[in-house]
Structure 1
């Protein structure tokens, strides 16, 4: 049974348990609600919670673990001697999964009988024709080893689905029966439900922490593996980026870091003044009708997909800059892709991040501070410059930090607007690239994760993580330093 339908059945059982539990509690009190320890809804919620939550947890864990177990089991059945020279086991398993999914689709559409799908003597040519009829394309010839493994994979997956259905339903029905047997007027249902809600809230809060820890561990372990194969000093102090999957790679990160910081600085130079001035105008000068119209219109920029910004940089901004600074006689710009192209477009994209957050922060400054400044004879501009902005500075720093993090992590604008050349240059009209763009390029295609050319992507990600962490620590220092003046 599909996991979605199984989840729906479990939720339906929980709903049934709610009404049965509520009715059972009222029956134990002879219909007198005053004799119950808790409200009737708590008794029903207790049954529903204990019916649904454990069963859904089992379903989620099973759905995650089963493909891993089946993949390991089937991979162990493929003899190493049957693999062609230079063919990675992961590529073979990819073919196995594709064939297994094709067999399942063929059975579902009636193009193949269940008995034929389970018959390992089915010819590869016949299989290719059948899979082609259901839209499954195979990149290489299907060997009998691949076919046998695909049928093993399909059988193990089907067995796992049946076992999952049985176990999940048994957990749901068993706990529902047990909870109903304990449901009576003396049961402290409210305490149990509130404790369950507290555990759920704590679990939700822990998801973010555990996700962060998982990301860090993933980066750290793969980064350590990379530095076992490649020199630490060559990576951090090398000035040449020339990966080659055939060997002899030069993986110096300095050109990528320079391109990342250069583009981000240009973007912030565009976004911070415009965004901050827009926030000051909207919060201090604009009338209510103007603010109600201008702020949503400004925030539309944040909803535009980054690929659209990338196309805007590639087709409009880049050619425009080339006509002005290249073909116009200056000769500074040879192509449309450049640091300036990506920086300007990225700065436009970051304007709503700065303006919207700064506007909310400026509006949160107490009105009494403004009134006190006006009472001392200060003008509106003097009040903004000497009272409001210093008071709002910690929050503004946070907004700028968010924009900086967004700029450092941007990919599509860089790929389409800045080019792919890794170089150290001060000319903003030359093509450069960033760390994020190279992470994508190094992990695109059938990368062998046993090579430093693929593992370097994790080292680049770890480098970005450390840079972002440093920005956060610096911003925290600024926030604490200036906040002390107003406490």
Structure 2
């Protein structure tokens, strides 16, 4: 009777493991390729119809014109770009400080119990349909701002921008908190060892060390703000306009910021919705302007993400 025993094979032979690894590699490559193919398809689809639009409307008129009235075949996109940037800037002024402060609290000050309640609450806030935010801006936020002394119209840039800022706070706070939580505790301990307070460590050590992730959250949130549609359609209106230029001291021209945000406006996304829902043929310049605006919006978002990656890479190299 032989005393030899066969060893237990837990993971299979070398050939089996190699075959599984090749399968995993191909599946993962396919998933990565799908995202690239989808992005390239969107660009090609937008570009094809945008080229047809620019065959009907001069690109110079589109990118430098100051009047957007589709019924008169006036397709100057400057008022739409201005409205989009105004909403993005004001939303950033609301979301970035509040979101970063919330992230610092969740990462450095909150107890485990408080974090387990507050962070899911923020994520639920991100899941509320945007049409609800638009309704709240129109029915509640605008009257509230009027009681504070703002002379606002029914549709105005300020209410829409503030509500978009509230909308993107969860994205800023959640992603920034994840970046801060990933900072090694050894950096915090070094700060405490030098006699720093918790606030000093939070703002002078943790935030700079997590700067790459925080900047990435800013850009992702602002890209979300640029692409927002329902809030600006419901609260901002559908009237593209540029701010009136007034004559100030010594005849110098200036733009009144309060008067600008108190009026209605229109963003590129809401103009795209208006173009696709209007009663026009698919061959008309009005319908095809949707693709030119979409391509312009894609280019702006692409540049923002490119700058975000450059900034993140710079800070990542500094703090590694």
Q: TM-score, normalised by structure 1?
A: 0.58
SS of residue in 1 equivalent to 2:262: coil
1:284 aligned residue (87, 108, 117): 108
Q: Which residue of 1 aligns with 2:51?
A: 224
Question: In 1, distance between residues paired with 2:193 and 2:94?
Answer: 36
Question: In 1, distance between residues paired with 2:128 and 2:241?
Answer: 30
Deviation larger for 197-206 or 306-315: 197-206
2:86 aligned residue (262, 281, 306): 262
CA RMSD across the alignment: 2.2
Question: In 1, distance between residues paired with 2:111 and 2:21?
Answer: 47
Instruction: Tell me the CA shift for residue 448 of structure 1.
Output: 2.1
Q: Which residue of 2 aligns with 1:485?
A: 318
Question: In 1, distance between residues paired with 2:268 and 2:178?
Answer: 32
* Superposed CA offset, 1:162-196 (max 9, x none): xxxxxxxxxxxxxxxxxxxxxxxxxx887666645
- Report if the CA contact (8 A) 1:346-1:413 is conserved: yes
Q: Where does 1:297-308 land on structure 2 (aligned, <5 Å)?
A: 297-308=121-132
* Superposed CA offset, 1:424-474 (max 9, x none): 124211111100000011011554232211111111001111101111121
- Report if the CA contact (8 A) 1:370-1:387 is conserved: yes
Pair 1:190–1:291, CA change in 2 (3 A):
closer
SS of residue in 2 equivalent to 1:430: coil
Q: Is residue 438 from structure 1 mapped to residue 271 from structure 2 by the alignment?
A: yes
Q: Is residue 395 from structure 1 mapped to residue 222 from structure 2 by the alignment?
A: no
SS of residue in 1 equivalent to 2:191: helix
Give ranges in structure 2 of 5+ residues lacking alignment. Answer: 1-6, 244-256
Question: In 2, distance between residues paired with 1:193 and 1:386?
Answer: 47
Question: In 1, distance between residues paired with 2:17 and 2:180?
Answer: 44
Q: Is residue 418 from structure 1 mapped to residue 252 from structure 2 by the alignment?
A: no
Q: Where does 1:312-461 land on structure 2 (aligned, <5 Å)?
A: 312-325=136-149, 332-333=151-152, 335-425=153-243, 426=257, 427-445=260-278, 447-461=280-294
Pair 1:192–1:377, CA change in 2 (3 A):
closer
- Report if the CA contact (8 A) 2:134-2:231 is conserved: yes
Question: In 1, distance between residues paired with 2:19 and 2:113?
Answer: 51
- Report if the CA contact (8 A) 1:414-1:433 is conserved: yes
2:297 aligned residue (461, 464, 474): 464
Question: In 2, distance between residues paired with 1:307 and 1:195?
Answer: 46
Q: Where does 1:71-110 land on structure 2 (aligned, <5 Å)?
A: none
SS of residue in 2 equivalent to 1:455: helix
Give ranges in structure 1 of 5+ residues lacking alignment. Answer: 1-33, 43-187, 327-331
Instruction: Tell me the CA shift for residue 227 of structure 1.
Output: 0.9
Question: In 1, distance between residues paired with 2:44 and 2:117?
Answer: 46
Runs of 4+ that moved beyond 4 A: 188-197
- Report if the CA contact (8 A) 2:220-2:305 is conserved: no
Q: TM-score, normalised by structure 2?
A: 0.87
Instruction: Tell me the CA shift for residue 204 of structure 1.
Output: 2.2
Instruction: Tell me the CA shift for residue 315 of structure 1.
Output: 1.2
- Report if the CA contact (8 A) 1:321-1:336 is conserved: no
Instruction: Tell me the CA shift for residue 210 of structure 1.
Output: 0.3
SS of residue in 2 equivalent to 1:443: helix
Q: Where does 1:193-208 land on structure 2 (aligned, <5 Å)?
A: 195-208=22-35
Question: In 2, distance between residues paired with 1:191 and 1:401?
Answer: 41
Pair 1:336–1:210, CA change in 2 (3 A):
same
- Report if the CA contact (8 A) 1:313-1:342 is conserved: yes
Q: Which has the higher contact order (CA 8 A, sep 6+)?
A: 2
Aligned residues: 296
